[in-house]
Structure 1
């Protein structure tokens, strides 16, 4: 063989190997990405031949597909549509649109993802019709119904979490909307309904549980500030702070007061325990200044602040900003100023305290399964961060229990159950309605549920409503549903 021929043979071999590697990459490694590309018309048309998998809660389908006489062959149908809308979202093949779990698990539900590859080969060889995979969610149907019904007539949201695992048990947002109307194959009707919902001033398309309008967490954030103090090692629940009836923010002439205008108890000083139990603003503002914004932000971030979670729904990051000055830091001591939070985030705060100071990453799915119940993907618990040691978490829990028994959060009391909780009544501007909050967990000695509730627009009461009056009773109903009471 001549030198030139050997060189040519080598070049051909390299080209062949390059082609082999490229096709292997496309067909195996990158196949799922290509299949899910919105520009892939073939995959979209093929998906019409496949009966979309179900979304399952407690063994029952909350979203399923039924035969349809049009070219799309199957119509998506939702049970208790408005109640489950923040979770399922909707799927519409006509408009090529999807939201919620329908979007997050589209590859599996549509039967076009890599999880389905080998089972589809077997199905094709056997001549059986194609069918997408189903998704089993972590949610508790009783908790979801309790949350949704308790929120009726309000603009608000509820998130409940299993503290030890991070499994989401409830995610409700009101006002809701009919996902069946947005899944219709009548594109004109769907567009008209979407435009109507988008123009509604109450924003029913918002999932207030994880996104939408970001609210100040008010006094529920005091749990984070107290956790920061305990984690520093320099403070205990019995540490004291000055107890004036008015407090001037550092370096300003702006004064703040406690909600009732008086002092935090009768003494010249107030303990951190009393400040949390009674929900006193002044001691917490002073504590925040003593700790500094960096210490508070570090603790807040261990609870999940400043992190955008995908659970798998995308949750807007709750915010504790950097580089706050002393008066700004003082305001965050009672959840005002520049700090904002979602109900998901505040549920994570309570769940972390409940779980001996360990925060778990929230998740909404347990498994992806086939129609033969074979598990194609199993989701596991994942630790997010450790905020407190077990002793400090127990000390914080004890004061949160006192807050529900005889403090500022009595609206969440349940006979025979120790509930740990904290309310919040957050200001939004001089003439704006308050945002009302509750976060807590139960039973305190063996936590099964952590919950957060937000009620926007003052619950229709402007600046006269409170978190204890409106948000805490909603949390109570969700806790009772999970505990079977």
Structure 2
């Protein structure tokens, strides 16, 4: 009898031990996994039954949660339901959807917006003790509404992107991508409607869900000549007044292909010109030859100092801008890389940061979108402090590049970016993508040149309204001018 009881007790103890292990495993080790599982209805209701914090621009919410008489409790509303304004901010805010997840700031700052961040543990403890419902924190962005609106309006109905940055801090003042979308159609509580709206956007032409400022890679065209010029000054022993070859055409090494200048024009009647003049009028043959003489390694190292090869976290992760690896990188490809063609790719944000680093005396700052996070009592929980990444170039080189870029706007290819009474430093770019396809039009700049307050990059895809007649100077520079003016008038 005792033996039977001992055996029964042992079985019961093993069962209890198994139950404790299973419970611990489920509630502790697998808790996060189960909470994130999209099939977990309890998690879904918990997420949507919270007064999710607002996303704020210049003291005004551009995204907020409003009470609704449904099992979910709250409805996420973008720009007060104004579809166009919601589209203007969509690349920044992203969406928070019942069936489609979340993106952009809605995703990157989710733990603060839903009130579950570790930094909010005091609020969570107070809620537990008082029975108060959880409320999310407000996320205040660096976006300036006037600059954002100017970029949105100036880009018009064209495909492309505009990003503006404060050079001394890295604060992102504008982030516009077109075409865009209305996040309100994805935030509805009808799973059928939200799912169909998402599929419609996935199937739409021109990828409206992509934030082109950080998520799309383009050949940077002649805007990359800034980097090539920086390599020449930093590593090639040249000065702005150094004279370099500038022939009518340049034979790509090892090929029978001749690279022309824009429109087949000669850059100089003598077949040579200063480095400053080559940048000022954007001479292709001069920079192709310069790239070969410098070598791919020198240009690559300089590009990487500006951020190529690494993503930016703004807090969303940007696509990685690339300068080609050394292996198999022949001189003909090096020549093309010197003018931002061939295998070089860049996001608009990356080219804005190139200009921003030059404007900031050579120091590359970390770009960021979130300025301040406040708890429900409006106490500051987190504030972003400006952070330097590295010195991309020396102060002397940055000042020389600044002066060369000023010449580009004053008397060169970028005159359409001129602002009366303000000295603008800029560089045009016209990037070829495929034979017979209209080029991308680029412009990057900063102003005022003597005390930079804003740096910018603009891209208009495939010639925009000007189609085959587009150049960076004709199409992108006027857009940049409008945005620079808005930033300087704020």
Q: TM-score, normalised by structure 2?
A: 0.90
Superposed, which structure 2 residues align to 1:76-475 within 5 Å?
76-79=76-79, 80-93=85-98, 95=99, 97-212=101-216, 214-232=217-235, 234-323=237-326, 324-475=329-480
Alpha carbons 1:47, 1:111 under 8 Å: kept: no
Aligned counterparts of 2:122 and 2:460: Cα–Cα separation in 1: 47
The unaligned stretches of length 5 or more in structure 1 are 1-18
Is residue 2:58 matched to residue 1:58?
A: yes
Assess if the C-alpha contact under 8 Å between 2:100 and 2:195 holds in 1: no
In 2: Cα distance, 1:34 partner to 1:281 partner = 57
Moved more, 345-354 or 184-193: 184-193
Deviation, structure 1 residue 99? 0.9
For structure 2, the residue ranges without an aligned partner over 5 or more in a row are 1-19, 80-84
Greater mean alpha carbon deviation, residues 43-52 or residues 286-295: 43-52
Give the drift of 1:273: 0.4
Root-mean-square deviation over aligned CA pairs = 2.2
Structure 2 CA distance for aligned equivalents of residues 316 and 39 of structure 1: 30
- Structure 1 residue 233: deviation in Å? 5.4
**Aligned counterparts of 1:37 and 1:232: Cα–Cα separation in 2:** 52
Q: Counterparts of 1:34 and 1:305 in 2: how far apart (Å)? A: 38
Q: Which digits, 9 at most, give the CA deviation of each residue in 1:175-196, with x for residues without a partner?
A: 1111111111122222222222
Q: Secondary structure at the match of 1:473?
A: helix
Counterpart Cα distance in 1 of 2:246 and 2:306: 29
Instruction: Give the whole-Å Cα distance in 2 for the aligned partners of 1:35 and 1:369.
Output: 25
* Range with bigger deviation, 337-346 or 380-389: 380-389
| TM-score normalised by the chain length of structure 1 | 0.91
* 1:91 shift after superposition: 0.4
Higher mean Cα deviation, 29-38 or 340-349? 29-38
In structure 2, the CA distance between the partners of 1:129 and 1:187, relative to structure 1 (3 Å rule), is same
Structure 1 residues 51-82: Cα deviation after superposition (integer angstroms, max 9, x where no partner):
00011111111110001111111000011200
Q: What is the aligned length?
A: 463
Q: Deviations over 1:361-395 (max 9, x none)?
A: 11111121112211112222221121211111111
> Given the superposition, is the C-alpha separation of residues 37 and 365 from structure 1 closer, same or farther in structure 2, using an over 3 Å criterion?
farther
Match of 2:82 in 1: none
How far has the Cα of 1:123 moved from its partner? 3.1
Q: CA deviation at 1:230?
A: 1.1
Q: What is the deviation of 1:445?
A: 0.6
**8 Å Cα contact 2:51-2:135 kept in structure 1:** yes
Aligned-partner SS, 1:385: strand
| Structure 1 residues 30 and 118: alpha-carbon distance in aligned structure 2, compared to 1, 3 A threshold | farther
SS of residue paired to 2:227: helix
1: CA distance between counterparts of 2:474 and 2:30? Answer: 54
Distance 1:30 1:239, change over 3 A: farther
User: What is the CA–CA distance in structure 2 between the aligned matches of 1:114 and 1:165, rounded to whole Å?
Assistant: 27
Alpha-carbon offset, residue 166 of structure 1? 1.0
Q: Deviations over 1:83-114 (max 9, x none)?
A: 00000001013x15111100111111011221
Cα distance change of structure 1 residues 33 and 406 upon mapping to structure 2, 3 Å threshold: farther
Distance of 2:434 and 2:48 partners within structure 1: 51
Following superposition, the deviation at residue 127 of structure 1 comes to 3.9
1:136-165, CA deviations, whole angstroms, 9 ceiling, x for partnerless residues?
Answer: 111111111111111121000001111111
Could you tell me how far apart the structure 1 residues matched to 2:221 and 2:122 are?
Answer: 52
| Whole-angstrom CA distance in 1 between matches of 2:268 and 2:218 | 29
Verify the 8 A CA contact 1:154 1:456 in the aligned structure 2.
yes
Displacement of 1:263: 2.0
Contact 2:246 2:283 in 1 (8 A): no
